[in-house]
Amino acid sequence: MAPSRPHVVIVGAGFGGLAAAKRLAGKRVDVTLVDRRNHHLFQPLLYQVATAALSPADIAAPIRSIFAKAANVRVLLDEVTGIDASKRRVLLSRSSLLAYDWLILATGARHSYFGREGWEREAPGLKSIEDAIAIRRRVLLAMEHAETETDPDRRNTLLTFIVVGGGPTGVEMAGAIAELARRSVSSDFRSITPHCSRVILVEGGPQILPSFPPGLSAKAEQSLRELGVEIRTNAPVREIADGEVAFGGERVAASSIVWAAGVEASPAAQWLSAEHDRLGRIFVERDLRVPHQDHIFAIGDTANVPGIDGRALPGIAPVAKQQGQHAADQILGRCSGPFTYRSFGNLATIGRKRAVIDWGHHQQSGFLAWLIWSFAHIWFLIGFRSRVVVGLSWLWNYLTYQRSARLITGTPQPHIRIK
């Protein structure tokens, strides 16, 4: 009788989990990939769905279709509620217990409001397609309402957009909203001009893009200002309530507030009673194993892994993908030892024809950086169709300034409260 094959359970179909499953596809192991959603989402372009540049299907792919030809990979739509490490079992909310020989935790991150969870209704974050569609609805409805609003103060509030957080997501979101409001949409309205809208980027620290060198941060700030974005640094948010944001010495009313200021890891550390950092990321061994759990790996936003400078590696797609591959290779016996991240640069775009890239030994900005950013994101999309559709959409947007995904869908929420 042939011995049974090892069973690998992967929790999370983000970049890390997907990379691990692809590495294990077709090998002499059985894989179960568990996710509470049926699709893999290309999160770096999620802000473009929120600002009507792309449609949700352009940046997402059904997980089952990705592994349709991998006979040893099973996809399970369910939500993990806990882990019984002593019996090597994963606890699920809808299915029975799931036993494993190896477990890879790639559960990702969620919004963090630093203990002020009541802010979420006023300032939604951007982590899912549902988040993006809700933000898109909020922004587009504000413009529609402003078209017929006769009171100047109420109209100014409708056309004020605040993005909280000056990291890559916040910078990209602020630039995209500015382009949407000032160029792509204003020509379609009769009473909204390119200078009617106001976009404010709020950052609690001394500079935007704090993970980039100061020179690139300054260039990004200049590019945002050229787009009409107002930047507030050293301005931590004190309060978000009733359609107003209090930051620094200001209090500004806005119809649309987007939260891009912080994230925290999933409850994976709690499931294992593992030591973790303030963001909830598990302190793992150098080979990505959870301490005292030789058959469990934690990767991506779930893990705190130090880089060569001693600081935790950033929660970006390339890190998660390389960690997923490393964990899978250890299970297959292909490698052993510590994980080493190979950086290909840090990128951020600031709207049309503007981007910054930190290569480490070299910095790039401007139009060439934007082209590199565009090709890199198209290349890493899942599926040939998505690459073609996104590439053509960007070309159309570039030539015409039009945003083809300006659809207000779903049930409008009564969030626009104008004083």
pLDDT tens column, 35-74: 999 999 999 999 999 998 889 999 999 999 999 999 999 9
Which position among 172, 203, 221, 244 bears the catalytic label?
172
Tokens 């991240």 sit at which residue?
341
For the chain, what is the mean pLDDT? 90
Lowest mean pLDDT among 14-18, 25-29, 186-190, 305-309: 186-190
Query: Does position 113 have pLDDT exceeding 50, yes or no?
Result: yes
Q: Is 172 a catalytic site residue?
A: yes
pTM of the model: 0.91
What is the DSSP code string of 207-274? SSSTTS-HHHHHHHHHHHHHTTEEEE-S--EEEEETTEEEETTEEEE-SEEEE-S-EEE-THHHHHT-
- Tell me whether domains 7-36+78-111+263-331 and 118-261+345-400 share a fold: yes
Query: Does position 1 have pLDDT exceeding 50, yes or no?
Result: no
**Three-state SS for 402?**
coil
Q: Which CATH superfamily is domain 7-36+78-111+263-331 in?
A: FAD/NAD(P)-binding domain (3.50.50.60)
Domain boundaries, the chain: 7-36+78-111+263-331, 118-261+345-400
Report the alpha-carbon distance of residue 227 to residue 285 in Å, rounded.
45
Q: pLDDT tens across 291-347, in order?
A: 999 999 999 999 999 988 888 999 999 999 999 999 999 999 988 889 999 988 899
Q: pLDDT tens across 130-181, in order?
A: 999 999 999 999 988 988 898 999 999 999 999 999 999 999 999 999 988 8
Q: pLDDT tens across 251-269, in order?
A: 999 999 999 998 899 999 9
Once rounded to an integer, what is the mean pLDDT over residues 223-250? 94
Residue 197 contacts residue 255 (beta carbons within 8 Å): no
- Taking Cα atoms as reference points, which of 31, 64, 47 lies closest to residue 127? 47
Residue 161 contacts residue 197 (beta carbons within 8 Å): yes
Q: Fill in the amino acid letter for 335.
A: C
Query: Please, is 418 exposed, middle or buried when counting C-beta atoms within 10 Å of its C-beta (0-12, 13-18, 19+)?
Result: middle
* Topology adopted by domain 118-261+345-400: FAD/NAD(P)-binding domain (3.50.50)
